[in-house]
Amino acid sequence: MQEWLRAVVTAFAGAFVAGLTAAVKYLYTRMKRQNARQDAIEEGLRGLLYDRIQERFLQCEAKGYADVCDRENMQLLYEPYHALGGNGTGTDLYNKLRELPTAPRQENSQPVNPAER
């Protein structure tokens, strides 16, 4: 009877090890898929943030200045972009926007006297 019990225990142990191996393999495969998906999401988000940074910079460059709202918006876009590994041209655009004046350039700084017209 001991040989019968030993055979049953061996079979259960083998099944347990096989089940555990299958579970680990499943979890590993699932983790790899999730990591790949997370990487794709982060890359896509970084790309969208870069696009918005570029668009904001081009708008400010066209008008010749970046007011407080533009600067705050750019910072809100740049911080997660940078945290996601974005650097290079996005950082350059961020720094260039910060160098723009905060108010439009005044063509004529003296007030116009209506009587002189």
C-alpha pair distances (Å), 68 with each of 31, 72, 77: 43, 6, 14
CB 37 within 8 A of CB 60: no
- pLDDT in 10s for each residue of the chain, 117 residues: 688 888 888 888 889 889 999 999 999 999 999 999 999 999 999 999 999 999 999 999 999 999 999 999 999 999 999 999 998 899 999 999 999 999 887 665 554 444 544
Phi/psi class of residue 28: alpha, beta or left (left: φ > 0; alpha: ψ in -120 to 50)? Answer: alpha
CB 70 within 8 A of CB 99: no
Residue 73 and residue 81: Cα distance in Å, rounded?
A: 13
Residue 111 and residue 107: Cα distance in Å, rounded?
A: 11
The candidate with the shortest Cα–Cα distance to 65, out of 25, 41, 100, is: 100
For the chain, which residues make up each domain, given as ranges? Answer: 8-102
pTM here? 0.71
